A = this chain, B = another copy of it.
């Protein structure tokens, strides 16, 4: 946590390992780079914030990465080196607001783009900003159409539908949720979307975070012991017909992998195609406002963008 270098090293190690198994796509958990400050309160209660909390945020802000930026370049290089598609959870710094973001890279070592979490959960709203509709990408690749939603975004039916509308086939779900019911949602999404679901969650113990009093685990009773599992993992890969292909693994840090037969998608969509024969667009239609939403627009910039497009 808070130190991007070691995490990048760890990322590279894991990517190398996965590539060695023949993986063509590697998915990391939410906030793998930058960290998921589990157990923290950042000193906030209703009506007050503390100086200590503010300082914690300063540090968290410092550990986040600019997109684009040198850390992004390094991740791109890894993808290129190991010839994998890479889906990586990061904490993105945009000025003084942070975003929980997923970055996409291709085996040619190119940074493809990003998805910013649209709606953080509960206390996350204090440390992360809210994304907009302009960063909900799905990339057409030789492996299939790849996209990602982060953690409880996956519970948002309209947001999933936006991805289905873009034809997603390989649905990545970096998360921080290790509960059993998460598995039900992953299975449901595979069936609903007629797509492969790849959910990645961290397995961490208390000792993976800085020790108290530097870093306090609040709200969970006593401070956990260093070996306590504070996030049990549960990464899983599910087929479009709801079959669990790998995982869920709650035992420890692990790589899970599966061979994906894309023919399964068409077989499943024969039954149910959420944006095709099983939709009722004349009754139900979703509008996705996918333009960037900025508090300040500079007319000259807008003009330039438009003329570039035409």
Chain A contacts to B: CB under 8 angstroms: 36-51, 53-55, 57-58, 61-62, 94-97, 118-119, 121-130, 132-133, 152, 155-162, 164-167, 176, 181, 183-185, 187-189, 191-192, 194, 217-220, 231, 241-242, 263, 265-291, 293-300, 303-304, 307, 309-310
Contacts and interface: CB of A to CB of B under 8 A. Distances in A.
B118 A280 contact: yes
A50 B220 CA distance: 8
B36 A46 contact: yes
A123 B46 contact: yes
Contact of A45 (B94, B164, B220, B304): B220
Given A272-B155, A276-B94, A165 B296 contact: yes
Contacts of A128: 277
Contacts of A156: 274, 278-280, 284
Given A37-B46, A188-B188, A283-B118, A289 B299 contact: yes
A208 B176 CA distance: 38
A289 B287 CA distance: 13
A212 to B, nearest CB: 14
A162 B189 CA distance: 18
Given A155-B192, A285-B296, 8 more contacts: A36-B46, A55-B267, A58-B270, A95-B269, A96-B266, A159-B280, A162-B296, A188-B189
A181 B176 contact: no
Contact of A165 (B118, B125, B160, B295): B295
A299 B294 contact: no
A96 B273 contact: yes
Given A97-B269, A289-B282, A218 B45 contact: yes
